[in-house]
């Protein structure tokens, strides 16, 4: 009896392995190339600025490489306006996914140091 059970279990295991789907080959991760900044303009340091700090912007670049939107992540008056004016003049190469241009976002950080006195 014991020998028969082993044979049945072995036959069932062999049948299951034979009908199981073959392991799918691993897929490579999609090839993604991020937005590339081609040219920049530096923001103008406001004459009336008495503070200093950092402005953070999230830029959305469309499939043609055009600036499609600016979201202010961290504002600091009067520097935010100058930072936005500057990035509106930047040129971009759009992001690519599997070789095709896609809409994408990047984060840009502007640091405005204290202005020297004197």
Q: Which residue did the predictor score with more confidence, 27 or 94? A: 94
CA distance 67 to 90: 8
Question: What per-residue confidence (pLDDT) applies to 3?
Answer: 38
Question: What per-residue confidence (pLDDT) applies to 117?
Answer: 67
pLDDT at residue 1 tops 70: no
Taking domain 31-112, whether its CATH number is 3.40.190.10 is answered by: no
Which pLDDT band holds residue 2 (cuts at 50, 70, 90)? very low
pLDDT digits (tens, 9 = 90+) for 67-115: 999 999 999 998 999 999 999 999 999 999 999 999 999 999 999 998 7
CA distance 81 to 78: 6
Query: What does the domain layout of the chain look like in residue ranges?
Result: 31-112
């Amino acid at each position: 009896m014991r020998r028969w059970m082993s044979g049945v279990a072995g036959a069932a295991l062999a049948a299951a392995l034979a009908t199981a789907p073959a392991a799918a080959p691993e897929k490579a991760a999609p090839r993604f190339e991020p937005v590339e900044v081609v040219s920049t303009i530096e923001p103008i340091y406001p004459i009336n600025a008495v503070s200093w700090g950092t402005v953070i912007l999230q830029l959305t670049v469309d499939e043609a490489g055009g600036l499609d939107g600016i979201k202010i992540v961290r504002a600091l008056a009067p520097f935010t306006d100058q930072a936005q004016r500057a990035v509106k003049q930047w040129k971009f190469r759009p992001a690519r996914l599997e070789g095709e241009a896609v809409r994408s976002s990047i984060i840009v950080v502007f640091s405005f140091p204290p202005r020297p006195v004197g």
